Chain A
């Protein structure tokens, strides 16, 4: 990675971290409802892969831990926060919530809440690309536990069979909700599982963004050049529970502390400081600047935005009725 990119991405990762931590606070204040799944600890995964991809051009789809993926594709963090607040100005106009951020203009094709549900959708997006003849790729970010769904195997088979331009990124954070991977999964190293479909695969350290970036570059070159799908496993860790009601009783504080020693933001920060590209004071100033941005722009926007109107409850269930009249009435031109 180039130095200026590393500096830019460091700030982005701090935005992502602070955004998520501020969500936690807003949830406690009951400003955010529903289920909330936070990303701290895993930032290098999304950032490393997307630095090697073309955000806003390549199609991205993921599960319910989706805020950071949307922002990385180009979503305005203010709109993502407004969505969490359930506001009309939110990414999905307040109809989706935390688990269903969508930003199609930036080709962020959504967060989905059924574990493993996005696998076939990603393959389908790749099928659409294949039919339209573009050089975009589809990137599907999911956790390790999604690989125990039938959709994983069914989709790997079809993606390989039809040679679809899709990259599957497995963010292996070692837990499926509150069950440790070795207690739910016969094969802990997830990239081994796709050899049954003759699919190219690799595994790398998901805490070091430069390693993620290099592995993703190889993977994306493979997919974009028409060689078919690729499966990239990133070893990572989520600091918080699965969602907000999770007190993390299934793992030790020592284990958590061990992973925090390998924090993706600190790894990059310390490297930049060692390379004399920045000082600790620069970093601290940047953190402060990011906190101000989150508070004064992102939270403020969400707080001040209007609610959707109750009379628009049924808007968006179906396509705009006027445009569909030829088929609704059978009076096609």
Chain B
């Protein structure tokens, strides 16, 4: 077990998969000679050359489509969309081609592609570089959606995504590439489905994914130390499909749920999780489940406004206290 950074974990997964299979390629803007905006493909151009590490023009929809077309012949492309905000432009090919081709061909063609992109608000990147779009991807039939919250998941999910015959979208976060964490020394495949209990508790479940898992861990600490409330933290690293059984199990134990995401409130992961709670374990609930989300505004540039738009651990604590009638 070694402690490495999130970007290093991604780079290692790329490197191992490319070394194993000559049909694994990676492509995207600045990923080759420049080494990748977030360094996830650092050193690969030198090692594997321009035919397999492809610096693309800034033509998101078409280079994504090109990767998908190559995957029809058994090529396994890892397609980096530098920022999730640019993935809007590639959604036509991701949704209309990759996600649907298996179904509309009656199982004849499949698109074993991996799409990776960085989303979320970072430091004052403004309205067009701060989007959270997982809510859009998770509603598309035929596309798997995963979102790693630490280097171990980043490494293992990318490895599994490359091997999977289904198209997989990996939702990363701008603020997490330098996060450190333990990654197994040997080869490790993280499951594409399921969820993880990151911290065990008995009084309330804090559901989160990606960066919100970290807000929840901090909130659980505060709740324990200052309020004597034992919070369980569940990491929903798979957004499509969501882990119904994992959600049911935790709520059946704690009887209360707060669902936390950086996404804006209307329509999304959090709404979906609350629906699952209602469908799976309504009679286990001691309080109505609530969600903690970003404000529905185009992300502001100003630092104070930006902070006000995004939730944090204190907001999670406040939501929990309210559930217990202590807010």
Number of interface residues of B (CB under 8 A): 56
Q: Is A274 an interface residue (CB 8 A)?
A: no
Q: Is B325 an interface residue (CB 8 A)?
A: no
CB atoms of A92 and B64 under 8 A apart: no
CB atoms of A92 and B106 under 8 A apart: yes
Please provide the chain A residues from 107 to 143 with a CB less than 8 Å away from any CB of chain B in the complex: 109-110, 112-114, 117, 119-132, 138
CB atoms of A110 and B105 under 8 A apart: yes
Residue pairs across A and B with CB atoms within 8 Å: the count is 185
Contacts of B72 in A (CB 8 A): 109, 121, 124-125, 128
CB atoms of A328 and B192 under 8 A apart: yes
CB atoms of B189 and A332 under 8 A apart: yes
Q: Is B93 an interface residue (CB 8 A)?
A: yes
Whole-angstrom CA separation of A123 from B93 in the bound complex: 13
The residue of chain B having its C-beta at the shortest distance from the C-beta of A121 within the complex is: B69
Please provide the chain A residues from 82 to 112 with a CB less than 8 Å away from any CB of chain B in the complex: 90-97, 100, 102-105, 109-110, 112
**Partner of A123 from B69, B75, B105 at Cβ < 8 Å:** B69
CB atoms of B92 and A114 under 8 A apart: yes
CB atoms of B190 and A124 under 8 A apart: no
Contacts of A103 in B (CB 8 A): 108
Contacts A130-B51, A150-B61, A151-B62; A327 near B164 (Cβ below 8 A):
yes
User: Which 5 A-B pairs have CB atoms at the shortest separation, nearest pair first?
Assistant: A124-B69, A120-B65, A128-B73, A93-B106, A154-B62
Known: A110-B109, A327-B191. 9 other contacts (CB 8 A): A114-B92, A132-B74, A151-B62, A155-B66, A316-B105, A318-B144, A319-B166, A332-B160, A332-B189
Interface residues in chain B, defined as those with a beta carbon under 8 Å from any beta carbon in chain A: 22-23, 25, 51-52, 54, 56-57, 59, 61-75, 92-93, 96-97, 101-110, 141-142, 144, 156, 160-161, 163-166, 187-194
What are 28 A-B pairs at a CB distance below 8 A? Answer: A92-B106, A92-B108, A95-B106, A102-B109, A109-B109, A117-B92, A123-B65, A123-B66, A123-B69, A124-B65, A124-B75, A127-B69, A128-B72, A128-B75, A131-B22, A131-B52, A138-B69, A150-B62, A154-B59, A155-B62, A158-B56, A316-B106, A317-B141, A328-B164, A329-B191, A330-B156, A330-B191, A330-B192
Interface residues in chain A, defined as those with a beta carbon under 8 Å from any beta carbon in chain B: 59, 61, 90-97, 100, 102-105, 109-110, 112-114, 117, 119-132, 138, 150-151, 154-155, 157-158, 161-162, 315-319, 323-324, 326-332
